[in-house]
């Protein structure tokens, strides 16, 4: 049994990318490992958020975690800002991290326009990976299930943990990223060379887990493909078709090879329709459960209880760090 930690930002409607890269895996992993699943609201404020919208999205994310099948009897679920140890350890890790290594994070470079927007982006966007490292290290995490876009942040977390252990004595477990081959990067429907993202300004680029069947069908029907007619899996040459094949395989469990064989001589339109139908079938029961949980208010209770358990574990690590760094204990 490994200690597992992962988190999702409540910065918009969760997408099919979040589902396959993270949520669906969280549900499987809770059966075998000791899991902590967090909604990382403090990460969300690294870019401007409307306070009411952030609160609503956080409640919705709580309901969505459970609607997807995370079971609070099996995993500890909580909201990051309810456990103040995260920001305290983040400060300490900011003093361990180097400006240069944070500046090399590709997500920061992308979001800050390579430094060109330095007067517009927040300092929090720059130091964000130290907060993410704190999330992970507080729980002595061994494995971090994420999509491929988070790999660099977890490598930085490892570097910070190793540096801290070397300078102050053994304190943190060194975590491993846990990334699957298929589903680690679901691509945008309009531009399949880019990651599907909940913060995209174009809603046709992503499938929200709350989209209606009509929206889902329309978005897949419009999905960008290529000018050939052949259906085969090749992420470089055919990113649009390969993305559709991955999504279908993840929805139904059928291998990509078998789908490709079935589609010999058939057209892109048929594939798009089958993918859309499978996604509708996947999301319909999740949406029903989501609305039930949101109305009953049940989901937040689980997160309240989860925060108590998380605080206990986090405070044990934090206390050790305070001692190691030389803070006076009275």
Q: Examine residue 200 and tell whether it contacts ligand TYM (CB under 6 A).
A: no
CA distance 298 to 303: 9
Q: Kindly state whether residue 132 participates in binding ligand TYM, applying the rule CB under 6 A.
A: yes
Q: Does 43 bind ligand TYM (CB under 6 A)?
A: yes
Query: Could you say which of 13, 185, 198, 272 is catalytic?
Result: 198
Query: Residue 4 CA to chain centroid, in angstroms?
Result: 14
Q: Please identify, among the stretches 3-11, 224-232, 248-256, 314-322, the one whose residues bind ligand TYM according to the rule CB under 6 A.
A: 3-11
Answer yes or no: 198 catalytic.
yes
CB closer to ligand TYM, 149 vs 215: 149
From the list 195, 219, 238, 272, the catalytic residue is 195
Q: Does 149 bind ligand TYM (CB under 6 A)?
A: yes
111 is annotated as an active-site residue: yes
| Residue 112 marked in a binding site | no
- The sign of the CA dihedral 205, 210, 214, 217 is positive
Residue 199 labeled ligand binder: yes
CA-based nearest residue to 138, from 76, 45, 206, 183: 76
Is 198 labeled as ligand-binding?
Answer: yes
Burial 114-137 (b: 16+ CB within 10 A, else e): eeeeeeebeeebbbbbbbbbbbbb
- Contact between 207 and 279 under an 8 Å Cβ cutoff? The reply is yes
Which of 70, 146, 207, 259 binds ligand TYM (CB under 6 A)? It is: 146
Pairing mode, strands 143-145 and 75-79: unpaired
Q: What part of residues 151-180 is at the interface with ligand TYM (CB under 6 A)? A: 153
Question: Which helix (H) or strand (E) covers residue 78, if one does?
Answer: strand 75-79
| 3-state percent breakdown (helix, strand, coil) of the chain, nearest 5 | 55, 10, 35
Instruction: State yes or no: residue 185 binds ligand TYM (CB under 6 A).
Output: yes
Q: Does 219 bind ligand TYM (CB under 6 A)?
A: no
Query: How many residues sit close enough to ligand TYM to count as binding (CB under 6 A)?
Result: 26
DSSP string computed for 8-21: E--SS--BHHHIII
57 makes contact with ligand TYM (CB under 6 A)? no
Residues known to be catalytic: 111, 195, 198
Query: Which parts are annotated binding residues for ATP?
Result: 9-11, 17-18, 147-149, 186, 195-199
* Positions that interact with ligand TYM (CB under 6 A): 5-9, 17-18, 20-22, 40, 43, 132, 135-136, 144, 146-147, 149-150, 153, 184-186, 195-196
């Amino acid at each position: 049994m490994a200690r597992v930690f992962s988190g999702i930002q409540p910065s918009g409607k969760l997408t099919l990318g979040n589902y396959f890269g993270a949520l669906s895996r969280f549900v499987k992993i809770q059966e075998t490992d000791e899991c902590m699943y967090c909604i990382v609201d403090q990460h969300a404020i690294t870019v401007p958020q409307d306070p009411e919208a952030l609160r609503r999205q956080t409640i919705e994310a709580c309901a969505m975690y459970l609607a997807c099948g995370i079971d609070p009897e099996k995993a500890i679920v909580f909201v990051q800002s309810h456990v103040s140890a995260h920001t305290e350890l983040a400060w300490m890790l900011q003093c361990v991290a180097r400006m240069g290594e944070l500046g090399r994070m590709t997500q920061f470079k992308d979001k800050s326009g390579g430094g060109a927007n330095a007067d517009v982006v927040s300092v929090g966007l720059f130091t964000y990976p130290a907060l993410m490292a704190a999330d992970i290290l507080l729980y002595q995490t061994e494995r971090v299930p994420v999509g491929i876009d988070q790999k660099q942040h977890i490598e930085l977390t490892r570097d910070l943990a190793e540096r801290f252990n070397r300078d102050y004595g053994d304190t943190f477990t060194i975590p491993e990223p846990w990334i699957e081959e298929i589903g680690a990067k679901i691509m945008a429907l309009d531009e399949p060379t880019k990651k599907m993202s909940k913060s995209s300004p174009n809603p046709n680029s992503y499938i929200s887990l709350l989209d209606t069947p009509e929206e889902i069908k329309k978005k897949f029907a419009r999905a960008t493909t290529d000018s050939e007619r052949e259906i085969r899996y090749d992420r470089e040459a055919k990113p649009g078709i390969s993305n559709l094949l991955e999504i279908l395989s993840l929805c139904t469990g059928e291998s990509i090879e078998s789908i490709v064989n079935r589609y010999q001589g058939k057209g892109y339109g048929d594939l798009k329709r089958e993918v859309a139908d499978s996604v509708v079938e996947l999301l319909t029961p999740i949406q029903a459960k989501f609305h039930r949980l949101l109305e009953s208010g049940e989901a937040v209770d689980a997160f309240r209880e989860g925060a108590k358990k998380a605080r206990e574990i986090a405070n044990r690590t934090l206390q050790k760090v305070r001692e190691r760094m030389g803070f006076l204990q009275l």
